[in-house]
Chains A and B, each alone.
Chain A
Amino acid sequence: DTGVSQNPRHKITKRGQNVTFRCDPISEHNRLYWYRQTLGQGPEFLTYFQNEAQLEKSRLLSDRFSAERPKGSFSTLEIQRTEQGDSAMYLCASSSRLAALYEQYFGPGTRLTVT
């Protein structure tokens, strides 16, 4: 399967713990996006990478959140000191290096539950 993959698919953690999610984009896609989706809502943008550079961060991304894409391939999203309000589906998407192509392809998401 050559689509976007995310791990883990589900994560249950206790409030105050740190969690890390991984996203592997479609091969040769140089753009990678993180979104967050809560129940009954559309995805909300968190941050965006072009290759290894983090080019944009949403105000939704508090200081407890950090994302990296060290070699321009996979990316990680870490949440420190989790809160119950962090419970959501965390989605990763990637798009092509070709400038003419806008399409973003999403992975299956990581469902986070903070108890």
Chain B
Amino acid sequence: QQQVKQSPQSLIVQKGGISIINCAYENTAFDYFPWYQQFPGKGPALLIAIRPDVSEKKEGRFTISFNKSAKQFSLHIMDSQPGDSATYFCALGRGTASKLTFGTGTRLQVTL
């Protein structure tokens, strides 16, 4: 049973455009929602994370939007750059020491 559904599977965006990746979940017990960026051959790197008590969090060009009632959250990358080309994973966590449950990933390509 897939606990988190991530879409799209792949995304092509022009340089300077906005990249949007979405995740949906079912279990309302989750209370921690991070996004990770992964380059080929590397481990995932934490980008930004949100708790359910806020609806939006922004760090630089990266913004998480969180809709608690719809059980959805999304990553927005503003002014996308070729260096942002990577695979992005959303994840779910529950409690401070919880394992993370990852989405299936979105491969982002930013073209010139």
| Bound CA span A50–B97, Å | 8
List of A residues within 8 angstroms of B34 by Cβ = 102-104
Interface size on A, residues (CB 8 A): 31
B28 within 8 Å of A (CB atoms) = no
Interface size on B, residues (CB 8 A): 23
B32 within 8 Å of A (CB atoms) = yes
List of B residues within 8 angstroms of A99 by Cβ = 96
Report yes or no: B96 in contact with A106, Cβ–Cβ below 8 A. no
| Bound CA span A99–B97, Å | 8
| Bound CA span A43–B36, Å | 11
Q: Who on chain B is nearest to A47 by CB?
A: B99
B100 within 8 Å of A (CB atoms) = yes
**Closest CB in chain A relative to B54 CB, distance in Å:** 14
Report yes or no: B96 in contact with A42, Cβ–Cβ below 8 A. no
Q: Which of these, A33, A41, A91, A104, contacts B46 with CB under 8 Å?
A: A104
List of B residues within 8 angstroms of A41 by Cβ = 104-105
Interface string of A77-115 (1 = CB under 8 A from B): 000000000000001010100011111111111010000
Interface residues of B (CB under 8 A from A): 32, 34, 36, 41-46, 49, 89, 91, 93, 96-105
What are 15 A-to-B residue pairs whose CB atoms are below 8 Å?
Answer: A40-B104, A40-B105, A41-B105, A42-B104, A42-B105, A43-B44, A43-B100, A50-B97, A93-B43, A100-B96, A101-B96, A102-B49, A103-B49, A105-B46, A108-B42
Interface residues of A (CB under 8 A from B): 4, 6, 31, 33, 35, 40-45, 48, 50, 55-56, 58, 91, 93, 95, 99-109, 111
